[in-house]
Structure 1
């Protein structure tokens, strides 16, 4: 399973629910501003439970976007050593969005979420009923812009990966049928076109 790096902008977000990252495919890096003297006990305790899968980086220097540049550097470094990884930036700072778009153009998997519970992989893992699963799939497809899957086989594979290959074939087929019934996808033989909500 691919490694999911979770890079937390601690100046911007003090995350909750770190316990959902207690799986072997997550690596958590908390970026702490140079003027931040401490982190909360809850965050420290939860990160400690993650053991070697969690680390801190206290940035050096001040200035606008200093922490953001550190996150960008580490994504570049990690992407060079682990090109199949997925990078999750946890921040409310929309300034990361052009970086995310550039990474995607370079075929590097990345997204920004405002909180750990908003991460697509976490939402997918927590979705139980078909409507929740479809919401996760639609959000993922909308993020892809023009690079949506164009065949039923590729779309099925994309959905399967999104749910960490935990869906059985019948469940996957039922989701596709439901998406077609709701008018979200149009399937013509093996080809797929989309009609996603705005």
Structure 2
């Protein structure tokens, strides 16, 4: 992919160690998106620091927020806004999205790349489409489905472990570890487990979003 990219994009990737799967063209093909995690990694490597975001506006009932973020890399400083509202954000954790957008813009400005590159979180349609099974618990290949009686204790064990996950990150790690055991369940049982996983994931995301808003506005 890198040899088909514009020179300024491929130079950026080589200079900051960005992988080919972390950059892709956005709709229209005139600009490129870069993964948020890649920008976070670069920010650490380049010793980019941020001041506490200034909350410009926040309406919890409307799920909208605007913040101003200031960043510094060496002697260079940049600032910009981040915003999220129902018109440009589908995630319920809108405050976290507001900060991510602002910080990513500042990082790209400090790296003199904003305009050529945009964060994947800049707009909803900038996201790379996920794999078909990213939403639930995928089946591992080559794993034999057990009998109904043998499935019951596995299902109960997996559900108990899932509900013991206290954060979104813990829950996603559990999903990866549970893949092989969940593959021993029938499609119908695995779908039930996947549905409960997604429901619990939304619950944890909302809780973390509420806690984040309290920290930002409290």
- TM class by shorter chain equals under 0.3
TM-score (normalised: structure 2): 0.23
